[in-house]
Structure 1
Amino acid sequence: MLLRRVLTDDAIVLQACDDDGAWVAAPERAAALGGPVFDRGWELALAQRHQREAGQLLPFQPVSFRDFMLYERHAVDAARGLVRRFHPRQARVAGAIEALTRRPFPLFKPKPLFYRQPIYYMSNHLSFVPSGAPVAVPSYSSALDFELELGFVLSAPLYDATPEQALAAIGAFVVVNDFSARDVQRAEMVSGLGPQKSKHFASSMSVLAVTAEEILPQIERLYGSVAINGATVATVSSAGMQWSLGEVLAHASRSERLYPGELFATGTLPGGSGMETGRWLRPGDQLSLTIDQIGEISHRITSAQEPT
């Protein structure tokens, strides 16, 4: 079942596609079919801005955005790629040690907390742009990266939920792209406060949301790809999460209220970033991120000075 966003005079609602393929306009019917309904003036203004930018809307405006890191393989390969890009001498030493031990270099492994509980950071939910909008390289960065992720939005509130209750509260799935300024990110992470300007300038998602009932039965069997200028540079899979989606949402809800419309993401699917593939974004690139059965995100990358 698909959901799409619709503008009215004073609200934004989600239309749901019924079994006959017809779009159902009534907000109460959309809610009955599993689609969250939002009615906020500031969301209307954001949606209108997005429509001007890309000619289309986000499937919903997130009311918050938490991004998890659920894949050990991504963490290891991304750390290796980061060192390769910014510290080539150390990369050669680490590579030699890996060749001898046939194991990941110890500093490339996630920190111990990764194995004890789901970890995440809070990003800027107001900087989401829709697929099709041009995205500029931040003026302070020369290492713009993409991250292909699986996003999921709540359609029901949670508080101290069990994993089973948390899983049942997922309303829909989208493709998420977590843009990252990697040359800024490392210093921010070392500060102890987590990513800031390296992440908050832009994120994006696919045009349509697909209801949870369509995706959850195959959550570990989703496949996708990354293409730059029409050439495939990576293929990805959703298999291998350190924690289930029910577990990560249950953890987020511990002594904390979660609300409908809050967006979460799995973190980068292994292989789904330039840090892993070595293919970094440059002005003029056309980026395409796809997860089969959910959707696609595409953007033209512009220079910091080029108007969008």
Structure 2
Amino acid sequence: MKLRRVLIDGRLEVQSLDADGTWRATQDTAPLGGRVFDSDWELAVAQRHHDLTGNVLPFQPASFRDFMLYERHAIDAARGLVRRFHPGQSRAAGAVERLTRKPFPLFKPKSLFYRQPIYYMSNHLTFVPSGDPVAVPSYSRALDFELEVGFVLRAPLLDADPAEAVDAIGAFVVVNDFSARDVQRGEMATGLGPQKAKHFASSMSVLAVTAEEILPQIDHLSGSVTVNGATVATVFSRGMQWTLGEMLAHASRGERLYPGELFAMGTLPGGSGMETGHWLRPGDQLTLSIDQIGEIHHPIATA
């Protein structure tokens, strides 16, 4: 079932899409996490988004954990980062890869990636809906995008097993994790993870699709990246290092998770400019889509 929120007569309304293609009001907000925030505050945020884009988020996330589940993305992104910022080292690493026919060792994820699901927490309050004009941050010269599949919890979890964890998923959305890659390099070197490189903006599709519709095909989702009307990447969800149940079970170890919290599976292989070489510039038109869920579109604005 597809869900969305709309502004009607100064109030937020959750709607579901009927089989005949008609959007109708629904009182069942559980798949989107239910009520989390003060209603006046949430309405003010939605009104601000609507004034800019004509759209509102399908839900306001209570937090945002972004996982990295794809080894191929990690390797290809590392290649792209070195190619952009260290071209000499990129040529040397490429020569080693051609000789050994294996990924350059430093391009592979750290060993913890293979032992447990890994993630970082970003700023859940800077999410914007599709259509929002996003500017390159004043402190960056390397704006990137990341096409991801996200989902929201409908039920709490604590020390869950994978089956219990999957059962707590309410709905799926398309997520875009904007990234200032030049800033990210230095921040990651501190050992504390990204800060200003990531926290300035993330985005989400206008539509959410309930879990029972997406979970049976979670390993068979497909999508695309389009820049200025040209498709620059086709992406697929297959190849995750960990299942959704395993990643959620790990996150719930000794830590209570709540309805309304947002999780993302990490960039789908090929779903970032760092991998394809298509970095964002002012004036670009970016569209990120997952065929079975929805899409995100952003004009890249001048700061």
- After superposition, what is the alpha-carbon deviation per residue over 1:60-93, rounded to whole angstroms, capped at 9, x for unaligned? 1101000000000000000000000000000011
Q: What residue in structure 2 maps to residue 153 of structure 1?
A: 152
- After superposition, what is the alpha-carbon deviation per residue over 1:97-154, rounded to whole angstroms, capped at 9, x for unaligned? 0000000000000000000000000000010111001000000000000000000110
Q: What residue in structure 2 maps to residue 291 of structure 1?
A: 290
Q: What residue in structure 2 maps to residue 37 of structure 1?
A: 34
Q: Provide the C-alpha distance between the structure 1 equivalents of 2:3 and 2:26, rounded to a whole number of angstroms.
A: 13
Tell me the TM-score normalised to structure 2 length.
0.96
Give the 3-state SS of the residue equivalent to 2:226 in structure 1. strand
On the 8 A contact 1:161/1:250 being kept in 2, the answer is yes
- After superposition, what is the alpha-carbon deviation per residue over 1:241-267, rounded to whole angstroms, capped at 9, x for unaligned? 000001101110111111111000011
Q: How large is the RMSD of aligned CA atoms in angstroms?
A: 1.5
> Against the structure 1 CA distance between its residues 13 and 261, is the aligned structure 2 distance closer, same or farther, given a 3 Å change threshold?
farther
Q: What residue in structure 1 maps to residue 17 of structure 2?
A: 17
On the 8 A contact 2:32/2:260 being kept in 1, the answer is no
On the 8 A contact 2:145/2:273 being kept in 1, the answer is yes
Q: Structure 1: give runs of 5+ residues left out of the alignment.
A: none
On the 8 A contact 2:147/2:176 being kept in 1, the answer is yes
> Against the structure 1 CA distance between its residues 278 and 290, is the aligned structure 2 distance closer, same or farther, given a 3 Å change threshold?
same
- After superposition, what is the alpha-carbon deviation per residue over 1:164-209, rounded to whole angstroms, capped at 9, x for unaligned? 0110111000100000000000100000100000000000011100
On the 8 A contact 1:284/1:301 being kept in 2, the answer is yes
Q: State the 1:14 CA deviation.
A: 2.8
Q: Structure 2: give runs of 5+ residues left out of the alignment.
A: none
Q: Provide the C-alpha distance between the structure 1 equivalents of 2:251 and 2:11, rounded to a whole number of angstroms.
A: 29
Q: State the 1:42 CA deviation.
A: 2.1
Q: What residue in structure 1 maps to residue 264 of structure 2?
A: 265
Q: What residue in structure 2 maps to residue 246 of structure 1?
A: 245
Q: Provide the C-alpha distance between the structure 1 equivalents of 2:76 and 2:202, rounded to a whole number of angstroms.
A: 22
On the 8 A contact 1:13/1:37 being kept in 2, the answer is no
On the 8 A contact 2:134/2:301 being kept in 1, the answer is yes
Q: Provide the C-alpha distance between the structure 2 equivalents of 1:136 and 1:257, rounded to a whole number of angstroms.
A: 35
Q: Provide the C-alpha distance between the structure 2 equivalents of 1:249 and 1:13, rounded to a whole number of angstroms.
A: 29
Q: Provide the C-alpha distance between the structure 1 equivalents of 2:59 and 2:270, rounded to a whole number of angstroms.
A: 27
Q: Provide the C-alpha distance between the structure 1 equivalents of 2:131 and 2:263, rounded to a whole number of angstroms.
A: 22
Aligned length: 301
Q: Provide the C-alpha distance between the structure 2 equivalents of 1:168 and 1:245, rounded to a whole number of angstroms.
A: 10
On the 8 A contact 2:135/2:300 being kept in 1, the answer is yes
Q: State the 1:44 CA deviation.
A: 1.7
Q: State the 1:23 CA deviation.
A: 3.8
Q: State the 1:36 CA deviation.
A: 3.1
Note the 1:90-239 alignment, pairs <5 A.
90-239=89-238
One-letter amino acid matched to 2:220: R
Q: Provide the C-alpha distance between the structure 2 equivalents of 1:11 and 1:261, rounded to a whole number of angstroms.
A: 20
Give the 3-state SS of the residue equivalent to 1:139 in structure 2. coil
Q: What residue in structure 2 maps to residue 68 of structure 1?
A: 67
Q: Provide the C-alpha distance between the structure 2 equivalents of 1:35 and 1:67, rounded to a whole number of angstroms.
A: 18
Q: State the 1:17 CA deviation.
A: 3.1
Q: Provide the C-alpha distance between the structure 1 equivalents of 2:252 and 2:18, rounded to a whole number of angstroms.
A: 31
One-letter amino acid matched to 2:280: L
One-letter amino acid matched to 1:4: R
Q: State the 1:45 CA deviation.
A: 1.6
- Identity value in percent: 76
On the 8 A contact 1:16/1:35 being kept in 2, the answer is no
Q: Provide the C-alpha distance between the structure 2 equivalents of 1:112 and 1:11, rounded to a whole number of angstroms.
A: 49
On the 8 A contact 1:30/1:37 being kept in 2, the answer is yes
On the 8 A contact 1:175/1:294 being kept in 2, the answer is yes
Give the 3-state SS of the residue equivalent to 2:14 in structure 1. strand
Tell me the TM-score normalised to structure 1 length.
0.94
Q: Provide the C-alpha distance between the structure 2 equivalents of 1:155 and 1:9, rounded to a whole number of angstroms.
A: 27
Give the 3-state SS of the residue equivalent to 1:281 in structure 2. coil
Give the 3-state SS of the residue equivalent to 2:220 in structure 1. coil
